[in-house]
């Protein structure tokens, strides 16, 4: 994979152009985008709902199921990047800052092996 | 922002190390990660629920609200990348492939300005 | 509609029998049921995602769309009642108690016409 | 619990009056209500996210946790009934019809003990 493909800014730009070329920006207000995101999260959840928790990683080694999961995850990412874009949010920067905060809040030697409380 | 920070692979690696250092991989089966993702999507939805649709972009120019939105979007991204990682899914590649498919399916000159049917 | 049909306890009982007759109780642990619920919420969200907020009630007067919305809402209700059932939660009682709490918290004369803060 | 409390129509009426008394109907368009529902589903998901699937029912016998789960389930139900109400959908009737359809689609003797495919 090229570095460019792997860049959040590049992917965000591609999605923005996709919307612009179809004159779909008019539909992309934040509330509508969150609902679209929820729709994709629902499809992702459905893939796993009846799979025994301990078997999920193994079962999704199957190429067809892995591909389906990859598609749904990609759909969620697409709407998430589009939402960040219309809100002019630098999602990569915010994710790094959030991770720095979590590193301080959850000191490794203190919380090791304990189920994290809700974030 | 450095190119490195903006890389999906780099961010995925940082999140993986964060989990590994705390011995939290044991909690990160796919079903649990989807539920954690849903929790963060819920917090994101709450920010927008009572905002008039047409005012959302303007209201979230306010620095404090923009920061809150950025934090929730970052949390969703974090769990999404972690999920892709445990499933060994290359999310950037899948997102590019999905976008290529959408470009074919929704020909710009045909669908211009029409509300896209559910993806 | 008969009183019986309208009873939460009756509906809960019907759903329980449906699961029991198919030996599906084994799949109905809480995490799986929440994921199934999320799947149905996603289908519900998709129905509304690109509809202008102000037009949604009018557009869903259309019999076919109203029926679709009714089906998705029914699916969400079904998994919600099933979840309450496996957790032995009296959902009607809890909803009444929650509403009593909200009546105290949000005094009508004080909050009238103001967007409620997140609950 | 009285029969009245257990009636979906009665609960729907109580929620409608709660909104009317606070002049909150103006905020209760379908898209906003779905987002509010998603917020509550997120809080519900968070309760279960890191609990081992097999332990969830037992862990939520604990009175404090059971009460928390009951509150979140009640919140989801409240927004779901409010959504059905603004769309003039008879949710109890639709749930019964959906269940009848599922009884035909999933014949008990045929599907017994097999993980149901997504509904």
pLDDT tens string B4-35: 778 999 999 999 999 999 999 999 999 999 99
Closest Cα in chain A to C36? A49
Rounded CA-CA distance A118/D49 in Å is 8
pLDDT at site D107: 92
Rounded CA-CA distance D93/A116 in Å is 42
Cα dist from D24 to B112, D29, D33, whole Å: 37, 10, 12
Q: What class has domain B3-89?
A: mainly alpha
pLDDT at site C3: 60
Low-confidence ranges of chain C (pLDDT < 50): 1-2, 119
Give pLDDT tens digits along chain D (119 positions). 446 778 999 999 999 999 999 999 999 999 999 999 999 999 999 999 999 999 999 999 999 999 999 999 999 999 999 999 999 999 999 999 999 999 999 999 999 999 876 54
Consecutive H or E run containing D71: helix D63-86
Q: How far is B83 from chain C (nearest CA, A)?
A: 15
Task: Pull the structure tokens for residue A41.
Answer: 């999260």
Listed in order, strand segments (DSSP E) in chain C are: none
Rounded CA-CA distance D115/C4 in Å is 30
Nearest to A116 among D32, D50, D115 (CB): D50
Unique residue bearing structure tokens 């939290």: B24
- Specify whether the CB–CB gap between A63 and B42 falls below 8 A: no
Beta carbons of A38 and C45 less than 8 Å apart: yes
Q: How far is A33 from chain B (nearest CA, A)?
A: 10
Rounded CA-CA distance D33/C76 in Å is 14
Provide block-wise average pLDDT over 10 residues at a time, chain B (119 residues).
76 96 96 98 98 95 97 97 97 92 92 76
Beta carbons of C24 and D83 less than 8 Å apart: no
Q: What is the ipTM of this complex?
A: 0.94
Beta carbons of C53 and B52 less than 8 Å apart: yes
Question: CB burial class (10 A; 0-12, 13-18, 19+) of residue C99?
Answer: middle
Cα angle value D14/D15/D19 (rounded, 5°):
120
Rounded CA-CA distance A111/B63 in Å is 32
Q: For an interface test with C, which of D95, D113, D114, D115 has the most C Cβ atoms less than 10 Å from its Cβ?
A: D95
Nearest to D92 among C6, C30, C97 (CB): C6
Task: Pull the structure tokens for residue C30.
Answer: 């809480």
Q: Give, to the nearest 10 degrees, the angle between helix B30-48 and helix D30-48.
A: 140
> Shortest CA distance to D56 belongs to which of A110, B31, C20?
B31
Cα dist from C7 to C57, C67, D16, D45, D93, whole Å: 26, 21, 18, 26, 11
Q: For an interface test with B, which of D42, D69, D118 has the most B Cβ atoms less than 10 Å from its Cβ?
A: D42
pLDDT at site D37: 98
C-alpha count within 13 angstroms, C-beta hemisphere, residue A67: 5
Name the interface residues of A facing C (CB cutoff 8 Å): 27, 31-32, 35-36, 38-43, 45-46, 48-50, 53
- Specify whether the CB–CB gap between A88 and A4 falls below 8 A: no
Beta carbons of C116 and D45 less than 8 Å apart: no
């Amino acid at each position: 994979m090229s570095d460019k493909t792997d860049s959040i800014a590049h992917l965000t730009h591609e999605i923005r152009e996709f919307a612009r070329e179809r004159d779909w920006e008019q539909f992309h207000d934040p509330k509508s985008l969150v609902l679209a995101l929820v729709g994709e999260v629902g499809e992702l959840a459905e893939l796993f709902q009846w799979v025994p928790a301990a078997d999920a990683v193994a079962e999704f080694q199957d190429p067809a199921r892995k591909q389906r999961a990859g598609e749904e995850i990609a759909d969620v990412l697409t709407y998430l990047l589009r939402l960040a874009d219309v809100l002019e949010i630098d999602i990569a920067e915010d994710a790094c800052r959030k991770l720095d905060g979590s590193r301080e809040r959850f000191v490794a030697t203190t919380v090791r092996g304990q189920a994290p409380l809700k974030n």
